[in-house]
């Protein structure tokens, strides 16, 4: 007998939504819905996009009375997930509450210890485990043999062995975007959606947990499968702007080129963006991506100090960063560069070099974040071992709040450097002039105001 499921992205404060006017669709929930909905009744509630409070969620749950409530969470929203779990149990004490997501993958035991309202935690890539879990629940069978989960057995927490990764990603159905409030997902005024065309990462950056969630082997969907989803997005949902969420879209350059070629050959009217390492983009590929509608590339530059790049195991050089920016700009696309502040061993001189490098390298937009030791990352293990963690209040793990102390810097100093980085970049005459050459002045003013508002929160 089929079950009734409600998959929830919990309500939370979002600096990205408030300041930059961007809300990301919960793509993971949409994938789960697709693998479940053939045999079960599935609903998605994106509380952030819908501006739902806990009271709103309570009313929705009282109306639908689901058998299973699935909640996704990152580290900074885990307490929001706990609050949703509590509401779900108050509405129906017999419902099964499942929590998944990046934080759950590495902190499953802690979640079950901290929150009595959570019944099961799904770890890692969730589609197979969730499907098997719901099947077992609907048939009244034991869940003990399902891989990739944690649960309570007679008040003792049990964790099963990891679920094998999905080798053929083409076998996954496309995300159930029809269950999402698509008109709510906007970058400014533009309705957009997200896609993931690959999973897994072979690189070992100390600040990232992707390889431990999706494996250290890169797995890519076929160009045909990717373009078929793009066509569905355009034709079914009337959405023509897509952000590709892959860690490194350009990891397999041949596949990336084939995707671009197919978009061109199909004559698809789509605007998209993607991420690249600075050492995986070539001039030929960039030009082809531009012709296929790619308008911006997100580059993980991370630092303007080579010693810091080596410290975080980035495996790239400053010269490769300069070349990548030049390649992308010459192809006619915008560049977004990410930079990390607060790397152990960093000095004031290193930080100043990073800010200067960001301004001089020619990128259009910069994202500065504090190095945040998320569970599952190498830096979390290092920081925990060395007593560098200032707090394990996960709600503070936003990349805006200093949560890790490093020799030579206090929390206030790191926050000041982050604010200085944003203001120095966006108030740079070179950056303002480059924007004015392409865009109306009111948009430049908005960027400057956003930067000030965004970083101003650090001082409160």
d(CA 27, CA 137): 24
Nearest Cα to Cα of residue 29 among 7, 12, 11, 3: 7
How far, rounded to the nearest angstrom, does the alpha carbon of residue 215 sit from its chain's CA centroid?
16
Are 155 and 196 part of one and the same domain? Answer: no
300 phi/psi in degrees, rounded to 5: -85, 85
User: Is 109 a member of any domain?
Assistant: yes
d(CA 331, CA 290): 7
Enter the tokens of residue 94. Answer: 């017999």
User: Is 182 a member of any domain?
Assistant: no
Nearest Cα to Cα of residue 276 among 313, 314, 242, 248: 248
User: Is 412 a member of any domain?
Assistant: yes
**Tens digits of per-residue pLDDT, 359-394?**
999 999 999 999 999 999 999 999 999 999 999 999
Residue 229 lies in domain:
192-459
Are 432 and 283 part of one and the same domain? Answer: yes
pLDDT of 34 reads 98
User: Is 183 a member of any domain?
Assistant: no
Are 365 and 412 part of one and the same domain? Answer: yes
Are 137 and 213 part of one and the same domain? Answer: no
Nearest Cα to Cα of residue 249 among 223, 213, 212: 223
d(CA 296, CA 223): 20
User: Does the pLDDT of residue 199 top 50, yes or no?
Assistant: yes
Whole-structure pTM value: 0.93
Pairing of strands 120-122, 198-199: unpaired
* Boundary-marking domain end, from 159, 184, 204: 159
pLDDT of 284 reads 98
Half-sphere exposure of 282 (CA within 13 A, CB side): 9
Are 150 and 197 part of one and the same domain? Answer: no
Count of structural domains, the chain: 2
Nearest Cα to Cα of residue 301 among 326, 273, 284: 326
User: Is 181 a member of any domain?
Assistant: no
CATH assignment at residue 126? 3.40.50.2300
Enter the tokens of residue 313. Answer: 């195991």
User: Is 184 a member of any domain?
Assistant: no
User: Is 168 a member of any domain?
Assistant: no
**Tens digits of per-residue pLDDT, 137-175?**
999 999 999 999 999 998 899 999 999 999 999 999 999
CATH assignment at residue 345? 3.20.20.70
User: How many angstroms separate the Cα of 382 from the Cα of each of 33, 45, 146, 389?
Assistant: 37, 37, 32, 10
């Amino acid at each position: 007998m089929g079950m009734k499921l409600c998959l929830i992205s919990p309500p939370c404060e979002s600096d990205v939504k408030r300041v930059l006017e961007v809300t990301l669709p919960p793509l993971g929930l949409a994938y789960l819905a697709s693998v479940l909905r053939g045999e079960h009744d599935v609903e998605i509630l994106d509380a952030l996009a819908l501006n739902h409070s806990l009271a709103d969620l309570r009313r929705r749950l009282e109306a639908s009375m689901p058998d299973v409530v699935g909640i996704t969470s990152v580290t900074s929203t885990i307490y929001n997930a706990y609050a949703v779990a509590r509401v779900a149990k108050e509405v129906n004490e017999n419902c099964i509450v499942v929590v998944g997501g990046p934080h759950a993958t590495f902190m499953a035991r802690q979640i079950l210890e901290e929150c009595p309202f959570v019944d099961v935690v799904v770890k890692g890539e969730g589609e197979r485990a969730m499907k098997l879990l719901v099947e077992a629940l609907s048939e009244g069978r034991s869940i003990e043999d399902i891989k990739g989960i944690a649960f309570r057995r007679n008040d003792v927490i049990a964790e099963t062995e990891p679920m094998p990764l999905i080798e053929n990603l083409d076998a996954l159905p496309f995300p159930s975007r029809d269950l999402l409030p698509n008109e709510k997902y906007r970058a400014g005024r533009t309705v957009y959606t997200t896609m993931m065309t690959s999973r897994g990462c072979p690189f070992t950056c100390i600040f990232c947990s992707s390889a431990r969630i999706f494996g250290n082997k890169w797995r890519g969907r076929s160009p045909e499968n990717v373009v078929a989803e793009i066509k569905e997005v355009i034709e079914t949902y009337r959405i023509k702007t897509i952000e590709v969420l892959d860690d490194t879209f350009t990891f397999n350059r041949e596949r990336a080129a084939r995707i671009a070629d197919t978009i061109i050959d199909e004559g698809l009217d789509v605007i998209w963006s993607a991420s690249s390492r600075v050492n995986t983009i070539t001039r030929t590929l960039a030009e082809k991506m531009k012709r296929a509608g790619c308008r911006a590339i997100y580059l993980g530059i991370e630092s303007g100090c080579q010693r810091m790049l080596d410290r975080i195991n980035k495996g790239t050089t400053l010269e490769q960063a300069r070349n990548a920016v030049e390649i992308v700009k010459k192809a006619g696309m915008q560049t977004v560069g990410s930079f990390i502040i607060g790397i152990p061993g960093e000095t004031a001189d290193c930080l100043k070099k990073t800010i200067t490098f960001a301004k001089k390298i020619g990128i259009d937009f910069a994202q500065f974040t504090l190095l945040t030791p998320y569970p599952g990352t190498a830096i979390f293990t290092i920081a925990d071992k060395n007593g560098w963690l200032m707090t394990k209040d996960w709600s503070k793990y936003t990349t805006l709040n200093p949560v890790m102390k490093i020799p030579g810097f206090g929390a206030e100093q790191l926050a000041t450097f982050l604010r200085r980085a944003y203001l120095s970049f966006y108030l740079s005459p070179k950056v303002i002039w480059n924007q004015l050459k392409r865009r109306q002045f009111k948009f430049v003013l908005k960027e400057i105001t956003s930067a000030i508002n965004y970083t101003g929160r650090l001082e409160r």
